[in-house]
Amino acid sequence: MKCPFCLTEDSKVVDSRPTDEGMVIRRRRECNRCAKRFTTYEKIESLPMMVVKKDGRREAFNSNKIMAGLLKACEKRPVSVRDLEAMVQEIEKQVYNSLEREVTSGFIGEMVMEKLRELDEVAYVRFASVYRQFKDINTFMEELNKLLNDQ
């Protein structure tokens, strides 16, 4: 494993422990050259989950895309990265447990919005405005009114 600091490939495993209900192994490594520590994760490679986009294209499921969207929505909000990581893991688990080899981007987007709504309402509205492609202030207000009525 390449050290992210000095890029040498000589490192040793200092600690290993299972995470994500035993589906992933977290390894703490120490570089033998610069002595800095870093974390790697090892998980079983499975058949790729495919996401069907709105325009019909198919691409492999990528949880990093969900995290990127959440980070943008939660920018300057009191939401921890740990909470976002937990949310992404939960969504990924639900996607893989759906027993389908293909899911729609809409299925994933709705799941993200549902969980984000519980976590931070401002981040939820930010995400919804991009996801639902609000065209004008009226559609934005409709979403805000739904949010207010549900409280």
Question: pLDDT for 49-60, tens place per residue?
Answer: 899 998 999 999
Residue 6 lies in a domain: no
Tell me which DSSP letter residue 134 carries.
-
Residue 81 lies in a domain: yes
d(C-alpha 79, C-alpha 70), whole Å: 10
User: In terms of Cα–Cα distance, which of 102, 103, 108, 151 is closest to 131?
Assistant: 108
Same domain, 113 and 87: yes
Mean pLDDT for all residues in the chain: 89
For position 20, what pLDDT does the model report? Answer: 78
Same domain, 16 and 90: no
d(C-alpha 127, C-alpha 65), whole Å: 13
Q: Read off the pLDDT of residues 27-37 as tens digits, 9 standing for 90 and up.
A: 999 999 999 99
- Provide mean pLDDT across the span 81-109: 90
Q: Read off the pLDDT of residues 120-140 as tens digits, 9 standing for 90 and up.
A: 988 988 888 887 777 777 777
Same domain, 37 and 54: no
**Phi, psi angle pair for 29, to nearest 5°:** -120, 155
- Provide mean pLDDT across the span 57-71: 94
Same domain, 135 and 116: yes
Q: Decide if 110 contacts 124 (C-beta within 8 A).
A: no
pTM of the model: 0.62
Task: Write out the residue range of the structural domain in which residue 134 sits.
Answer: 50-149
- Provide mean pLDDT across the span 67-85: 94
Same domain, 80 and 132: yes
For position 119, what pLDDT does the model report? Answer: 92
Percentage of the chain modeled with pLDDT above 70: 98
Same domain, 99 and 134: yes
Tell me which DSSP letter residue 48 carries.
P
Same domain, 98 and 140: yes
Look-up of token digits 């002595």: 35
Same domain, 20 and 64: no
Residue 66 lies in a domain: yes
Same domain, 30 and 54: no
